């Protein structure tokens, strides 16, 4: 580390070793920790509080579009996967399989699996097949459609290189599964849910995204079309932040989801699936965090304002604590985005500096200090997490309570604007193969710190080109934009006609 660099709470700094910085931030903020089960994580209360807020807010958006929640089994018979060959091929290497139903002690007293199952059970990697079995029973007529169901659940996908929140063997998510009468309705559903995800990530997580369609090689196994939103984080890599899949009639045929149409004929349903996961927690950390820890957008922070009593003398302690309680009560009566503000008073008997740094690392949006001098001035010392750690503002007490929702709104907007500027500064229109390779090869540059990010370049839909770029640079097509601003040109790799630019990036 540069000896002249300012001391920070997290070491290494982002610019020194971003992957290790990320792991240290997760630990320092007490978001999660590795489990004794390899590849799995323990989500600690602060991290789970963030996920709960995401869950509540996203669930309200689902309900607003007519979806309702249900729950389906964790275990899926192997034969269900066998019905959809492309789907099982796409997940085969990630599946965990239950083969026995109990443990038995051997002669040495060691426990071993006993009683083999008649049919192995796959631990849910995704639920299209098991949900399809239920839908086949529920759907008999066009009058039964549409089926609009979501479930909040855990899934297991065997992960060889785990990274907390971003890639773990077990993770939490939601998965929507719908059946429709017509192709047009199913395609509209697929796009609607992508729009919900984009709005949620933009307005609640303060993260800008590119949205569009995945290339054929990046498509969800068994899908006809996969739509995605892609976020850029601070090492200029992409994170797939949400996907929505138009499944056509593929899964309906495999599961036998048929209905009598309006003409009295049997027809297969048109299905979709869509999902977001705890990966979003990691996305927020990587998009907004700094060298002192997490920086949370107020809309998803478990605590939006923390009040820190400063009690250097015992004779003023009671008055300070009483004022802290009064301010906390007043703040809780205020509303931010039409909800009561989440306020916590930290009365722990530990050093004020230690206490302050804990909340800095956790990323609470506003820290409010109240001590004897503040009582004399009838004011509070306010620190915003989106600004420098040493930056404080003295605000009259009543004025702060009144302005608290406005300040939280300002922090939310500032984080989004900052993330948008970062993304735009590291997104480049590229018109030659050499420029493309140089952009994703920092060693070729005199300023490697400004290279890499999102490249907008023409491509002629050649899968061979796509695989070559992935092999050479570990760069993939993140999305093919869906907007109407198609710009015809020439593929920078083949010189053949191209109908539009696509978004390329290295990704997690």
- Domain span(s) for CATH 3.30.930.10 in the chain: 18-288
> What's the rounded Cα separation, in Å, for the pair 299 and 306?
15
- Domain span(s) for CATH 3.40.50.800 in the chain: 300-414
Can you give the pLDDT at residue 426?
A: 96
What CATH architecture is 300-414?
3-Layer(aba) Sandwich (3.40)
Can you give the pLDDT at residue 1?
A: 41
DSSP one-letter code for 447: -
- Domain span(s) for CATH 3.30.110.30 in the chain: 427-505
* Distant-in-sequence contacts of 38-46, Cβ < 8 A, 24+ apart: 38/162, 38/169, 39/158, 39/159, 39/160, 39/162, 39/168, 39/169, 39/170, 40/162, 40/168, 40/169, 40/170, 41/162, 41/164, 41/165, 41/168, 41/170, 43/172, 43/278, 46/302, 46/362
Q: CATH assignment of 18-288?
A: 3.30.930.10
Can you give the pLDDT at residue 91?
A: 83
Can you give the pLDDT at residue 261?
A: 98
Can you give the pLDDT at residue 37?
A: 94
**Which residues have C-beta within 8 Å of that of residue 489, sequence separation ≥ 6?**
431, 458, 497, 498, 501
Can you give the pLDDT at residue 442?
A: 76
The answer as to CATH 3.30.110.30 being correct for domain 427-505 is yes
Q: For every one of its 508 residues, what pLDDT tens digit does the chain have, with 9 covering 90 and above?
A: 444 456 899 999 999 999 999 999 999 999 999 999 999 999 999 999 999 999 999 999 999 999 999 999 999 999 998 887 777 788 888 999 999 999 999 888 999 999 999 999 999 999 999 999 999 999 999 999 999 999 999 999 998 889 999 999 999 999 999 999 999 999 999 999 999 999 999 999 999 999 999 999 999 999 999 999 999 999 999 999 999 999 999 999 999 999 999 999 999 999 999 999 999 999 999 999 999 999 999 999 999 999 999 999 999 999 999 999 999 999 999 999 999 999 999 999 888 899 999 999 999 999 999 999 999 999 999 999 999 999 999 999 999 999 999 999 999 999 999 999 999 999 999 999 999 999 999 775 555 555 799 999 999 999 999 999 999 999 999 999 987 666 889 999 999 999 999 999 999 9
Can you give the pLDDT at residue 458?
A: 96
State the pTM of this model: 0.95
């Amino acid at each position: 580390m540069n000896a002249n660099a300012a001391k920070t709470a997290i070491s290494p700094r982002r610019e020194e070793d971003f992957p290790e910085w990320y792991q240290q931030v997760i630990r320092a903020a007490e978001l999660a920790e590795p489990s004794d089960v390899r590849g799995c994580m323990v989500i600690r209360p602060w991290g789970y509080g963030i996920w709960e807020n995401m869950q509540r807010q996203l669930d309200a958006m689902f309900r607003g579009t007519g979806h309702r929640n249900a729950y389906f089994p964790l275990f899926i018979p192997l034969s269900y996967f066998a019905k959809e060959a492309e789907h099982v091929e796409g997940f085969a290497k990630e599946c965990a399989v239950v083969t026995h139903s109990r443990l038995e002690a051997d002669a040495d007293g060691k426990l071993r699996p006993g009683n083999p199952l008649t049919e192995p059970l796959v631990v849910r990697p995704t639920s299209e097949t098991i949900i399809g079995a239920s839908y086949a029973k529920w759907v008999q007529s066009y009058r039964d459609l549409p089926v609009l169901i979501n479930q909040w659940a855990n899934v297991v996908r065997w992960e060889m290189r785990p990274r907390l929140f971003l890639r773990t063997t077990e993770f939490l998510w939601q998965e929507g599964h719908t059946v429709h009468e017509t192709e047009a309705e199913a395609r509209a559903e697929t796009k609607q849910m992508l729009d919900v995800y984009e709005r949620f990530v933009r307005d609640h997580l303060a993260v800008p995204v590119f949205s569009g369609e995945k290339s054929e090689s990046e498509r969800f196994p068994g899908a006809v079309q996969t739509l995605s939103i892609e976020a850029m984080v601070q090492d200029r890599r992409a994170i797939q932040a949400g996907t929505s899949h138009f499944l056509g009639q593929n899964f309906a045929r495999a599961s036998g989801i048929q209905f009598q149409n309006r003409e009295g004929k049997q027809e297969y349903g048109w299905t979709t699936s869509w999902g977001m996961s705890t990966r979003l927690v990691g996305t927020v950390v990587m998009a907004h965090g700094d060298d002192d820890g997490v920086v949370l957008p107020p809309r998803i922070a478990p605590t939006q304002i923390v009040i820190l009593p400063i009690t250097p003398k015992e004779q003023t302690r009671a008055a300070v604590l009483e004022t802290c309680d009064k301010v906390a009560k007043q703040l809780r009566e205020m509303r931010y985005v039409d909800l009561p503000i989440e306020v916590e008073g930290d009365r722990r008997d530990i050093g004020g500096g230690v206490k302050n740094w804990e909340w800095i690392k956790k990323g609470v949006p506003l820290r409010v200090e109240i001590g004897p001098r503040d009582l004399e001035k009838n004011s509070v010392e306010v620190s915003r997490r989106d600004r420098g750690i040493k930056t404080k503002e003295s605000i009259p007490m009543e004025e702060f309570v009144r302005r608290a929702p406005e300040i939280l709104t300002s922090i939310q907007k500032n984080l989004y604007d900052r993330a948008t500027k970062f993304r735009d500064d590291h997104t480049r229109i590229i018109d030659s193969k050499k420029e493309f390779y140089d952009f994703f090869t920092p060693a070729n540059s005199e300023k490697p710190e400004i290279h890499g990010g999102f490249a907008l370049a023409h491509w002629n839909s050649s899968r061979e080109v796509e695989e070559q770029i992935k092999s050479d640079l570990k760069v993939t097509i993140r999305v093919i934009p869906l907007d109407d601003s198609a710009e015809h040109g020439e593929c920078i790799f083949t010189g053949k006609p191209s109908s539009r630019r696509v978004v390329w990036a290295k990704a997690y």
